Amino acid sequence: MESGCMSTVPDWRSAIAALEEQGRKAFLARDLETLNALWSDELIVNSPINRIHSKERVLALLNEGIISHISYEVDIERIDRLQDLVIVMGGDTVINAPGSRPISRRFTNVWRLENGAWRMFIRHANIAPNLSQSSA
């Protein structure tokens, strides 16, 4: 392998995948400082409970423990870039409390390049009932 040709994955794609993982871990740990840095001040979330929230509201819900998961797994299926925007699509599964059933969702996250840094500024997630049903 030639020097400088270590990967065919564009740097921006690797950066976004790493930010998605950092965000997943921070959300699970309710690490508000990290989330505040990762999220645009203009973040808007269409939540899986059919409510639209601002960044401030989501952080407050996490801080109050109203949003809380014991497990949060993400499967990124697609990452595309359109100039200063990156769209991430896939599915995720959360477990809210011990003994509760996993909830499967579909999501779209949109990242925007702000002052040289990628920050999430749109998130949509919806519960996918056919994916959440147990086969047992």
pLDDT in tens, 23-49: 999 999 999 999 999 999 999 999 999
Tell me, what amino acid is at 108? T
Render pLDDT for 82-118 as a digit per residue (tens, 0 to 9). Answer: 999 999 999 999 999 999 999 999 999 999 999 999 9
Residue (of 44, 46, 21) closest to 34 by Cα position: 21
Q: How much is the pLDDT for 108?
A: 98
Question: What pairs with residue 107 in β-bridges?
Answer: 90, 125
- According to DSSP, residue 74 is labeled E
For residues 74 and 77, what is the distance between their CA atoms, to the nearest angstrom? 9
